[in-house]
Chains A and B, each alone.
Chain A
Amino acid sequence: MEKNAATSAIKVVKLTKTFGNRKAVDNVSFAIPQGAFLSIFGPNGAGKTTLLRVLSTLSRATSGSARLLGIDIKQEPDKARDHIGLISHNSMLYPDLTAEENLLFVAELYGIENAKDRVLEMLDSVELKHRRHDVVRTFSRGMTQRLSIARALIHDPAIVFLDEPYSGLDPHAVEIFDGLIEAVRKDRTFIMVSHDLRKGFDMCTHALVLSKGTVVAFDEKNSLDFSDFSQLYAQTVGMGVA
């Protein structure tokens, strides 16, 4: 990966995050180019979500560094935040505000010009324009997740983090979600944390396996097929296919 370091969308060097004496993320290093889709795998407690929280600036690293589009997230977190979108199993939507109010709130905080037009455009894109005046509390899980995609992408981020985005979605909602992600994928860089080995592998260009906070495998997908990868996963993590 070092050959891509100059054009890396995300470059992580010896990143460590500790909680008390416990190292949740231990000396993690990797780099991915712009447009890559990195899937992070690992058993519960491997440090996947902690790593994602550090990279998305929600949590501070204990040591090491991470650069998003060349921006050091420790030195210039606000500058990095301009380019980050996060879609997680938590929708980050206020349940007592309408769909439109939720997106308008975020758009105004980002300082998006013509915020109202942008909000309507995003609502139209996720097919929720007809429900824009309804409070989010009345939405199904699938609709909420679609709205959370619109929320995460309203400022057109170059890097999108996905934290267990399929959690609680029914198969139809998963299909819609996949379509939406595919639609915005070109040239954006994605990092997804998932327990679903098959889905994560199908979507990714790069795969990273974490175990007990450390990287036990990291590679581009094109050199692997799924059976090789699931075998590697089972060997490194000591588990079968999720």
Chain B
Amino acid sequence: MANLPGATGSTNAVSTTSAQVRPTGFHHYLTLLKKDLTQEFRTKEMLTSMGIYSLLVLIVFGAALAQTASSFDILQMGGGLLWVLIVFTSLLGLNRSFSHEKENGCLEGVLLIPLDRSVIFLAKASSNLLFLLAVEIMVIPLFYFFFLTTTTPAETFWMIVFPLLVGTIGVAGIGTLLSTITINTRGKDVMLAVLFIPLIYPLLYACVSATTAVIVGGEWTMDVYLPALALAGGYDVIMILLSWVLYDFVISA
């Protein structure tokens, strides 16, 4: 038992008995991301809970709209419904994304290691993005089956991929920053929603516009789609850069 490596200790202030080379930020990023993915693939906690939740929301939408099918155009509402589904499912996932870090003080363990705090943000935002995209891949065919099989979406329907991608990047980035801020607050679930929805409102508005435009189609599709997508993309860049810059302060506080 008393044969620990380095048991003689380090008398030298700088050198250590275990050889170390300061890794690059990219190496730190990959290590943190790999840890999140390993953990999720083992527990499937986020994917399962978000998947089941989104299915339940679809069922509720179906029940709520069952009696009104003939009185409104589902194509006009499709984009909005899809983004309601994505936003609420994301909130559930984002609330859980830091629960593992909180358990056993793991986040403090990471903060003890000399690494750029912004890399922690990037890695966590990337894992959140991958989990959200995985859930969207499962949910969008179901959404189509539930709501769009009784009607005919425009030929541009496939273009919903881009607002979904741009919107999900923003949701993951902003959500990661906010879930870090709310991790230690009382009533963090509500607090995250209270901060998250107002902050993503411009992004949400742009993504709903772009998604609706390509579902409905028509001559004016690109006139709405492209500016909305540009707005969403610009908002992503600004908010993610801001999150990157603020993260050191946020996580240290």
Which residues of A are at the interface with B, using a C-beta cutoff of 8 A?
A: 34-35, 56-58, 60, 69-70, 77-79, 81-84, 86, 88, 90-97, 101, 105-106, 108-114, 118, 121-122, 125-127, 135, 151, 153-158, 176, 179-180, 182-188
Contacts of A112 in B (CB 8 A): 18-20
CA distance A91 to B32 in the complex (A): 18
Q: State whether the Cβ of B2 lies closer than 8 Å to any Cβ in chain A.
A: yes
CB pair A156–B6 under 8 Å, yes or no, is yes
Report whether A82 and B1 are in contact in the complex, using a CB–CB cutoff of 8 Å. Answer: no
Q: Which residues of B contact A105 (CB under 8 A)?
A: 31, 35
Determine whether B42 belongs to the interface, using a CB cutoff of 8 Å to chain A. yes
List residues of chain B with CB within 8 A of the CB of A109.
23, 28, 31-32, 110, 113, 115
Chain B interface residue count, CB cutoff 8 Å, equals 45
Contact B3 A183, beta carbon cutoff 8 Å: yes
Are A156 and B38 in touch, CB under 8 angstroms?
no
B108 contacts partner chain A, Cβ-Cβ < 8 Å: yes
Q: Is B105 an interface residue (CB 8 A)?
A: yes
Contacts of A153 in B (CB 8 A): 4, 6
Give the residues in chain A near B23, CB-CB below 8 Å: 108-111
Tell me the chain B residues, 158-212 only, with Cβ under 8 Å from chain A: none
Closest A residue to B101 by beta carbon equals: A94
User: Cβ of A122 and Cβ of B105 under 8 Å apart?
Assistant: no
Q: Is the interface of A mostly helix, strand, loop or mixed?
A: loop
Q: Looking at the complex, which one of A92, A179, A183 makes contact with B104 (CB distance below 8 Å)?
A: A92
A147 to B18 CA separation, bound complex (whole angstroms): 18
Q: Assess whether B141 is interfacial by the CB under 8 Å rule.
A: no
Contact partner of B8 among A58, A118, A186, CB < 8 A? A186
Contacts of B56 in A (CB 8 A): none
Contact A96 B43 (CB under 8 A): yes
The listed residue with most A CB atoms (<10 A of its CB), out of B14, B35, B104, B106, is: B104
Contact with A along B7-28 (1 / 0, CB 8 A): 1111111101111111100011
Query: In the bound complex, how far is the Cα of B44 from the Cα of A209, in angstroms?
Result: 47
CB of B113 within 8 A of CB of A110, answer yes
